[in-house]
């Protein structure tokens, strides 16, 4: 569900990381164009809300309506994660929000130790600010667990749930089917290679340094969205500085501690262990779509657990399997993801 190293390489770096071969002069012109594209989009869609806990950043598409879809991205992603799909939902009559949760996108890491249920309060505050009574809550990976925490805290504000490879199965149970060799291989994969680690978690003197060092595939139309990840501190530019440590997943030692001794780590980091989907959805009263990636390379087979949840509420739960991805369905096969999502929303 949360394969940090694989996730970074597979999504953020878009298929591959290439160091720019173009001259800085050429890159700088492209940087200016992409910066302008980003700022134009941000001016039309970016919103901030100061809640009792923290300052939350999010993107908004569409006009105010009683049909609202809220997306919670996975680890190391941002509100731009839902960019490819938002306008399709707007055409179907939805107002769409995609939220930068703690430490992600343009929402900074909180100074105090806030957990998933604190973020649920913050999300409710965002909804209150927009006079939203309830919404379809969707989440991917870590975002799915946050969606479940929101359902725990505010079940009456959830119109339906969309859980993509996260939030429907207790986190620790994902490792139960692994043998010792599989676990060892997984923990070896947790820490990114040194060059990737430096690229993502270093401190930079300017946004341009980040832009220059992270070159997506040539001609990518979405490279401008990289600015939606960049935060600033003490005159420096940061991409993910401190985020892996905040999630307590920066290396295998931290990951094992999180799994085996969650009481020793922060409230935020241990949140993912404390979310209990079995308990949360025992009395489920709203429709739920479970998007389950089962492609080659999937280290976590959760089909049985998800099918068990469906059998508890056959009239409410749809369980869809996708063999086109081992985790991130909406990135690997966006057309299939959108089709499944639209079909589910059409039933509400």
Alpha-carbon distance 95 to 317, whole Å? 23
Backbone angles phi, psi at 227, to 5 degrees: -65, -20
3-state DSSP assignment of residue 125: helix
Mean pLDDT of the chain: 90
Instruction: Read off the CATH number of the domain in which 141 is found.
Output: 3.40.50.1820
CA-CA-CA-CA torsion for 203, 205, 208, 209, nearest 10 degrees?
A: -50
Q: How far is CA 266 from CA 249, 258, 269, 292, 336, in A?
A: 12, 9, 5, 29, 37
Enumerate the β-bridge partners of residue 139. 72, 163
CA-CA-CA-CA torsion for 341, 228, 76, 16, nearest 10 degrees?
A: 90
Instruction: Give pLDDT tens digits for 213-241.
Output: 876 434 466 789 999 999 999 999 999 99
Ramachandran area for residue 34 (φ above 0: left; ψ -120 to 50: alpha; else beta): alpha
pLDDT of residue 5: 40
10 Å CB burial of residue 265 (0-12, 13-18, 19+) is middle
pLDDT of residue 220: 60
pLDDT of residue 23: 66
pLDDT of residue 20: 40
3-state DSSP assignment of residue 71: strand
Instruction: Give pLDDT tens digits for 314-343.
Output: 999 999 999 999 899 999 999 999 999 999
3-state DSSP assignment of residue 317: strand
10 Å CB burial of residue 179 (0-12, 13-18, 19+) is exposed
Q: How far is CA 49 from CA 53, 122, 126, 150, 170, in A?
A: 10, 9, 6, 18, 31
DSSP 236: E
Domain count, the chain: 1
pLDDT of residue 215: 62
- Residues 135-161: what's their mean pLDDT? 98
pLDDT of residue 186: 84
Percent of the chain with pLDDT over 90: 75
Q: What is the CA radius of gyration of the chain?
A: 19
Backbone angles phi, psi at 79, to 5 degrees: -60, -25
Residue 125 CA, distance from chain mean position: 20
267-274 vs 142-153: helix crossing angle, rounded to 10: 80
Residue 11 has pLDDT above 70, yes or no: no
Alpha-carbon distance 224 to 221, whole Å? 8
Instruction: Give pLDDT tens digits for 12-52.
Output: 444 333 444 446 788 888 899 999 999 999 999 999 999 99
Instruction: Give pLDDT tens digits for 170-229.
Output: 999 988 878 888 888 888 888 778 877 888 899 999 999 888 887 643 446 678 999 999
| Residues recorded for the chain | 348
Give the count of alpha carbons within 13 A of 113, CB side only: 10
Alpha-carbon distance 136 to 160, whole Å? 5
Backbone angles phi, psi at 138, to 5 degrees: -120, 150
pLDDT of residue 221: 65
pLDDT of residue 217: 38
10 Å CB burial of residue 260 (0-12, 13-18, 19+) is exposed
- Residues 112-141: what's their mean pLDDT? 98
Domain residues for the domain of 227 are 4-345
What's the whole-model pTM score?
0.92
Under 8 Å between Cβ of 268 and 114: yes
- Residues 64-88: what's their mean pLDDT? 96
Instruction: Give pLDDT tens digits for 257-296.
Output: 999 999 999 999 999 999 999 999 999 999 999 999 999 8
């Amino acid at each position: 569900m949360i394969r940090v190293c694989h996730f970074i390489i597979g999504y953020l770096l878009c298929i591959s990381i290439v160091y720019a071969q173009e001259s800085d002069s050429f890159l700088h012109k492209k940087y200016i164009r992409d910066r302008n594209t980003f700022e134009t989009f941000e001016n039309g869609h970016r919103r901030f809300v100061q809640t009792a806990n923290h300052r939350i950043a999010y993107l908004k598409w569409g006009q105010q309506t009683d049909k609202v879809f809220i997306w919670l991205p996975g680890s190391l992603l941002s509100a731009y994660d839902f960019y490819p799909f938002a306008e399709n939902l707007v055409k179907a009559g939805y107002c769409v929000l995609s939220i930068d949760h703690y430490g992600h996108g343009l929402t900074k890491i909180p100074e105090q130790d806030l957990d998933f249920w604190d973020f649920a309060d913050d999300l409710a505050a965002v909804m209150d600010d927009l006079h939203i009574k309830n919404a379809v809550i969707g989440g991917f990976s870590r975002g799915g667990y946050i969606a479940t925490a929101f359902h725990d805290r505010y079940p009456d504000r959830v119109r339906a749930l969309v859980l993509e490879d996260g939030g429907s199965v207790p986190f620790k149970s994902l490792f139960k089917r692994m043998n010792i060799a599989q676990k060892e291989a997984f923990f070896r994969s947790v820490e990114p290679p040194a060059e990737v680690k430096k690229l993502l978690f270093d401190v930079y003197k300017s946004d341009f340094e980040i832009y220059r060092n992270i070159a997506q595939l040539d001609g990518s139309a979405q490279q401008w969205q990289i600015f939606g990840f960049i935060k600033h501190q003490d005159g420096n530019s940061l991409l993910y500085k401190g985020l892996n440590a905040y999630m307590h997943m920066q290396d295998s030692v931290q990951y094992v501690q999180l799994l085996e001794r969650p009481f020793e780590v922060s409230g935020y980091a241990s949140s993912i262990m404390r979310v209990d989907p079995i308990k949360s959805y025992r009395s489920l009263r709203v429709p739920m779509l479970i998007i389950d990636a089962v492609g080659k390379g999937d280290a976590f087979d959760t089909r049985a657990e998800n099918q068990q949840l469906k059998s508890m509420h056959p009239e409410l739960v749809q369980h869809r399997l996708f063999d086109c991805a081992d985790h991130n369905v909406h990135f690997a096969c966006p057309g299939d993801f959108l089709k499944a999502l639209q079909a589910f929303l059409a039933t509400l």
